[in-house]
């Protein structure tokens, strides 16, 4: 075991983790108090298809926050994220497990623009008169369109014609929309009117309907921008910015000065007054909720990393030979004792680096989990600190002096270049 490796405890299986929570009323109640980002990590750890009981417990605010993470995915670790409508269909199926009324309530409470985007990506909504114009007899494109329509599913709803973009999920989507129609007709009309308007606009720009049926690019920029704003307010960093930071670190140069990406990030945190997105928020509804117990279970299961404010205290101590604290960890411990304000700044920098590696790095070809990102950051800062010391003896006193003078992000940049 290397000096910077986190201890390897037994990590419970997904089924064991779920049963452990559901078997304890205090933990069940605490699920309702979790920040949406943390609940989303828990559901991802268990597997969405198996987490119907947890989804049913979630508030709509939690659900919306989980959608910010889960409905947008990259093709590869560190890549740019795009909206994935197939994930929305999977959520529809899981939400339906709580009953049709519960699903309809979710569709009414979620932001309209999000539901419109999902429906638009799954169903082509056309005015029946527009469709009739596109099917003019004797037109070669109309014949291509008719052949395409013959291979898909479609239905009329009032003045609209709904056409499946993916026939495999048509029943799930159409049935959800018709369930919505029974008690919330106006909500469904709002959704279909906006989808129809986007399709009509797209047809005008493309010059024909057949191209729209196979088009990959959708009008999702407004929803994506709103999502980016929400995530930025919680201290997230975009994959593009994370990749740029990591590339800069690997190239080297300018190690004595904080880079523009990091400066902008911390300016944004100061301006927004960002709080820890993983800290439970008491809502006043969780009587008997065992928040502390649930957070302990989540850390044990490596659903979340230790909160950055308790980073070092969560690491195992060295007595007994279990592990030896790295020079960087020891310097952080000493800094906490000597300068609490500067220690808080360094902890914030470590948290930023964890976000960077989670967004732009990779672990075994996939996005790093929280504990994996934390371990990578600690190892890399250790390498950078030793490089910073150079020929200076690697003593605890010298390490503390170096850490006090040098932000963790600069140590990380030096370390990553040497580890590359």
**CA neighbor of 40 nearest in space, from 63, 17, 14:** 63
- Mean of pLDDT values over 16-35: 94
Q: Ramachandran region of residue 158, left (φ > 0), alpha (ψ -120 to 50) or beta?
A: left
Dump strand ranges (E) for 108-259: 123-127, 154-157, 160-164
The predicted structure's pLDDT at residue 248: 92
Decide if pLDDT at 417 tops 70: yes
Provide mean pLDDT across the span 184-196: 95
62 Cβ partners below 8 Å, 6+ apart?
Answer: 32, 34, 35, 36, 39
pLDDT at 399: 96
Q: Are strands 72-74 and 160-164 parallel, antiparallel or unpaired?
A: unpaired
What pLDDT was estimated at residue 129?
A: 82
pLDDT at residue 235 tops 60: yes
Reply yes or no on whether the pLDDT at 279 is more than 50. yes
Q: Which residue do the tokens 């369930």 mark? A: 179
Q: What pLDDT is recorded for position 6? A: 46
Q: What's this model's pTM, rounded to 2 decimal places?
A: 0.74
| 340 or 221, higher pLDDT | 340
Most confident of 52-61, 68-77, 189-198, 302-311: 52-61
Q: What is the mean pLDDT of residues 230-250?
A: 87
According to the model, what pLDDT value does residue 143 have?
63
What tokens appear for 134 in the block?
Answer: 């596109």
| pLDDT value at residue 178 | 97
Task: Give φ, ψ of 125 to 5 degrees.
Answer: -105, 120
User: Taking Cα atoms as reference points, which of 385, 377, 382 lies closest to residue 356?
Assistant: 377
pLDDT at 200: 72
Percent of the chain with pLDDT over 70: 79
Q: How many angstroms separate the CA atoms of 368 and 366, rounded?
A: 6
In angstroms, the CA 108 to CA 89 distance is: 16
The Cα-based distances of 358 to 78, 243, 328, 355, 376 in angstroms read 8, 10, 21, 5, 10
Q: In 3D, which of 57, 42, 85 has the Cα closest to residue 176?
A: 85
> For 145-165, what is the mean pLDDT?
81
Residue 213 scores a pLDDT above 70? no
Q: Is the pLDDT of residue 400 over 80?
A: yes
- Interval 55-72 mean pLDDT: 94
At 36 the pLDDT is: 92
Higher pLDDT, 6 or 294: 294
What pLDDT, on a 0 to 100 scale, did the predictor assign at position 286?
54
More confident residue, 87 or 2: 87
Please state, for a pLDDT cut of 90, what percent of the chain lies above it: 53
When mean pLDDT is compared across 67-81, 181-195, 222-236, 237-251, the lowest value belongs to 222-236
- The pLDDT tens digits for 73-98 are 888 888 888 899 999 999 999 999 99
Residue found by looking up tokens 């239905």 in the block: 155
| Separation of alpha carbons 348 and 309, rounded Å | 8
Q: What is the pLDDT of residue 154?
A: 87
* 23/28 Cα distance (integer angstroms): 8
Q: What is the mean pLDDT of residues 197-210?
A: 59
Strand partners, 164: 123
For all residues of the chain together, what is the average pLDDT? 83
Query: With bands split at pLDDT 50, 70 and 90, how would you rate the model's confidence at 306?
Result: low
Q: Which tens digit of pLDDT belongs to each residue from 309-345?
A: 455 444 444 444 444 578 999 999 999 999 999 999 9
Residue 141: predicted pLDDT: 58
The predicted model gives 199-225 an average pLDDT of 56
Q: Give the model confidence (pLDDT) of 370-391 as tens digits.
A: 888 888 999 999 999 999 999 9
- 127: pLDDT strictly greater than 90: no
**Mean pLDDT score, 142-163:** 78
Query: Which residue pairs from 223-227 have beta carbons closer than 8 angstroms and sit at least 24 positions apart in sequence?
Result: 223/83, 223/113, 223/114, 223/117, 224/72, 224/83, 226/113, 227/68, 227/72
Query: According to the model, what pLDDT value does residue 274 have?
Result: 53
Distances (CA, A) of 40 to 28, 58, 198, 242: 15, 10, 31, 22
- 309: DSSP letter: G
Pick from 380, 308, 319, 320: nearest CA to 346: 308
């Amino acid at each position: 075991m290397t000096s910077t490796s986190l201890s390897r405890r037994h990590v419970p299986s997904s089924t064991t983790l779920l049963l452990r929570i559901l078997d304890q009323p205090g933990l069940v109640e605490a699920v309702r108090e979790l920040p949406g980002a943390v609940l989303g990590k828990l559901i991802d750890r268990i597997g969405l298809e198996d987490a119907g009981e947890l989804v049913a417990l979630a508030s709509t605010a939690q659900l919306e926050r989980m959608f910010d993470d889960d409905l947008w995915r990259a093709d590869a670790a560190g890549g740019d994220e795009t909206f994935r409508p197939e994930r929305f269909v999977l959520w529809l199926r899981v939400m339906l497990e709580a009953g049709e009324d519960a699903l309809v309530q979710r569709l009414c409470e979620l932001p309209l623009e999000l539901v419109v985007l999902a429906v638009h990506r799954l169903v082509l909504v056309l005015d029946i008169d527009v469709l009739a114009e596109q099917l003019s007899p004797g037109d070669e494109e109309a014949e291509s369109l008719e052949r395409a329509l013959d291979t898909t599913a479609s239905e009329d709803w009032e003045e609209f014609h709904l056409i499946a973009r993916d026939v495999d999920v048509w029943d799930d989507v159409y049935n959800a929309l018709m369930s919505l129609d029974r008690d919330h007709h106006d909500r469904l009309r709002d959704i279909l009117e906006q989808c129809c308007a986007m399709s009509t606009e797209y047809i005008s720009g493309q010059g024909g309907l057949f191209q729209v049926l196979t088009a990959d690019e959708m009008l999702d920029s407004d929803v994506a921008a709103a999502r980016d704003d929400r995530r930025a307010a919680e201290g997230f960093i975009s994959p593009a910015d994370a990749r740029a930071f990591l590339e800069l670190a690997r190239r080297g140069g300018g190690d004595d000065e904080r880079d523009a990406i990091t400066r902008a990030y911390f300016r944004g945190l100061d301006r927004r007054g960002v709080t820890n997105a993983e800290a439970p928020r008491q809502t006043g509804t969780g009587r008997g909720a065992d928040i502390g117990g649930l957070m302990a279970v989540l850390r044990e299961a490596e659903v979340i990393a230790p909160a950055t404010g308790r980073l070092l205290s969560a690491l195992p101590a060295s007595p007994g030979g279990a592990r030896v604290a790295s020079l960087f960890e020891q310097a952080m411990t000493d800094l906490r004792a000597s300068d609490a304000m500067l220690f808080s700044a360094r902890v914030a920098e470590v948290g930023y680096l964890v976000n960077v590696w989670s967004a732009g790095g990779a672990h075994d070809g996939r996005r790093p989990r929280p504990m994996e990102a934390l371990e990578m950051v600690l190892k890399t800062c250790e390498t950078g600190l030793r490089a910073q010391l150079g020929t200076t003896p690697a003593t605890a006193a010298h390490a503390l002096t170096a850490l006090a003078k040098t932000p963790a992000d600069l140590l990380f940049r030096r370390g990553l270049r040497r580890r590359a």
